[in-house]
Structure 1
Amino acid sequence: MIITSDVSKSYGESTVVDGVSLSLPRGGITSIIGPNGAGKSTLLSMVSRLMAMDKGSVTVDGLDVSKTPGDVLARRLSILRQDNHMTARLTVRDLVSFGRYPYSKGRLTTDDKVHIDEAIGYLDLTALSGRFLDELSGGQRQRAFVAMVLCQDTDYVLLDEPLNNLDMKHAMGMMKLLQRAASELGKTVVLVLHDINFASWYSTHIVAMKHGKVAAQGSVDEMIRPDVLSSVYEMDIAVHEIAGQRISVYYG
């Protein structure tokens, strides 16, 4: 379980994350939603130790992320940031192999290569494994980065806006893939999402942030409701059910 206790982050006079305490459940997909500037990505960065917190603490299965050695934490928790652009000209296989660094320190073993092949196959990238990243479409490149994260073989997978720059078809494919990873591979997936509908369709738990604080959290049934969403986004939002799925409609 990931537990944050009174976690805060400020830049000058601006408080971005303000005393957030959460217990994120193991298993399934937890989506963190909320308007721009709510502190979603900053919180995820502090949970993964990409960013230092000003106060508070984060533990992952009892491990304090501020004190745990990097290679130990990297075998428990992995993250894909928003700005996952590579300047080096790498093939898909080169990129995915980076996921094994916490284990191999750059000297790949036979076991590492098995994990690389499995991750590439799981993301349906086998035919593209020798292609350079700059030769891929946006959707293919995003799958390659997710394959790298899965190749790290951690219990917890954190993804910051993984649907960025994906059209609806590829975004749906990505969410289905993450749902499979949670179900079939036993991963706990935590992601920042802007699209309420994708959060509704694929999440098992939803956290809504507003003004750097947790505004609400709970199951899909508890969260995808007009009163909850309208309060979080400060606009009128209607929720309709179509073919068993909740669809959010914005009224402004």
Structure 2
Amino acid sequence: MIALENVTKRYGGQTVVDDVSLTLGGEGVTALIGPNGAGKTTLFSLVGRLVRPDAGRVTIGGLDITTTPSAELAKSLAVLRQENHVAARLTVHDLVEFGRFPHSRGRLTVEDRAHIEQAIDYLDLDAYRHRFLDELSGGQRQRAFIAMVLAQDTRYVLLDEPLNNLDLRHMTEIMRLVRRMADDLGKRVVTVLHDINFAATWSDRIVAMRDGSVVADAPAREIMRPEVLRAVYDTDVDVREIDGKPVALYYG
């Protein structure tokens, strides 16, 4: 499990994550939602060891992330940031190889190559394996990054806004892949999402944040209630049942 114990993060005089205690990774897909500035991306960064907490403790499988060697932690946790600063002239195959670095340290074994091929196959990227990243569409590129994460072969996967800058079709495609990773491969995915309806459709659990604190944490359907969403977003949101699924509607 991923456990946060009284975790606080400040930037200057502003507290952006405020004394949060939370466990993650018990469900297949957990979505972090909330308005801009709620603290969800900072919480993501704390779990992913992209920033250090000012107070409190984060553990993954009992390992303290501030003291555990990166190579060891990377065998349990894979992190895909919203901004990925990699060379555009890498091929898809080269990118997916990076996912095996915690295991291979740059010397690929037969097992490493098998994981690479499985990831490329699972994300249906064989036709693009020799294409450069800057030759791909946004959806294809995101699939390539997820293949890299999948090749890392970790129990826990963190995805920061994986739907950013994608059109509706590719958003649906990516979330379907995330759902499959959880259901078919037993991954425990924690993802930051802005779209409430995508979170409700594809997630098992939603953790909602506001002003640096967790204000709601429940199965997705229980979050999709007008009074809960108002507490999160401070605005009226109507929720309707469409084909048996709750859908949030906002009219302004």
TM range (shorter): over 0.9
Matched, 1:86 2:97: no
Give 4+ residue runs of structure 1 displaced > 4 Å after superposition. none
Which residue does the alignment assign to 2:135?
135
Give the CA deviation at 1:85: 3.7
Q: Which residue of 2 aligns with 1:44?
A: 44
CA RMSD of aligned residues (A): 0.9
What CA distance in whole angstroms lies between the structure 1 residues aligned with 2:38 and 2:48? 18
Q: Give distance in 2, aligned partners of 1:164 and 1:84.
A: 12
Q: Alignment partner of 2:35: what SS?
A: coil
Give the Å deviation of 1:245: 1.5
Opposite residue 167 of structure 1, the aligned amino acid is: D
- Does the 8 Å CA contact 1:27/1:186 hold for their aligned counterparts? no
- Measured against aligned partners, the alpha-carbon deviations of 1:153-185 in whole angstroms (never above 9, x if no partner) come to 000000000000111110011001000000110
| 1:88 positional shift | 4.8
1:152 matched to which residue of 2? 152
Spell out, residue by residue over 1:76-105, the C-alpha distance to the aligned partner (whole angstroms, 9 max, x if none).
001000101423510000000000000000
Tell me the secondary structure at the aligned position of residue 51 of structure 1.
Answer: coil
Amino acid at match of 1:38: A
Cα drift, residue 230 of structure 1: 1.0
Once the two structures are TM-superposed, the CA of residue 19 in structure 1 deviates from its matched residue by 0.8
Q: Distance in 1 between matches of 2:128 and 2:21?
A: 42
Corresponding residue for 2:161? 161
Amino acid at match of 1:225: R
Tell me if structure 1 keeps the 8 A contact 2:65–2:73: yes
Query: Per the alignment, in what secondary structure is the counterpart of residue 18 of structure 1?
Result: strand
Give the aligned residue type for 1:49: R
Separation in structure 2 between the aligned mates of residue 88 and residue 123 of structure 1, nearest angstrom: 20
SS in 1 for 2:99: helix
1:220 is aligned to: 220
User: Structure 1: which amino acid aligns with 2:117?
Assistant: D
Distance in 2 of aligned mates of 1:25 and 1:147: 20
In the other structure, the counterpart of 2:23 is 23
Report SS of the residue matched to 2:119.
helix
Do residues 121 (structure 1) and 116 (structure 2) align?
A: no
1:12 aligned residue: 12
Equivalent positions of 1:173-252 (< 5 A) are 173-252=173-252
Cα deviation code 1:43-80 (max 9, x no counterpart): 11110111111111011121111111111100000100
**What code does the residue aligned with 1:182 have?**
A
Q: Provide the secondary structure at the position in 2 that maps to 1:56.
A: strand
The answer on whether the counterparts of 2:25 and 2:190 sit within 8 Å (CA) in structure 1 is: no
Distance 1:228 1:198 in 2: 17
Unmatched 5+ residue regions in structure 2? none
Equivalent pair of 1:238/1:250 in contact (CA under 8 Å) = yes
The one-letter amino acid paired with 1:177 is L
The separation in 2 between residues aligned to 1:25 and 1:101, in whole angstroms, is: 23
For 1:89, what is the secondary structure of its paired residue?
coil
Aligned length: 252
Give the TM-score normalised by the residue count of structure 1: 0.98
For 1:17 and 1:138, how far apart are their aligned partners in 2? 31
Q: How does 1:55-66 map to 2 (within 5 A)?
A: 55-66=55-66
Letter in 2 for 1:87: A
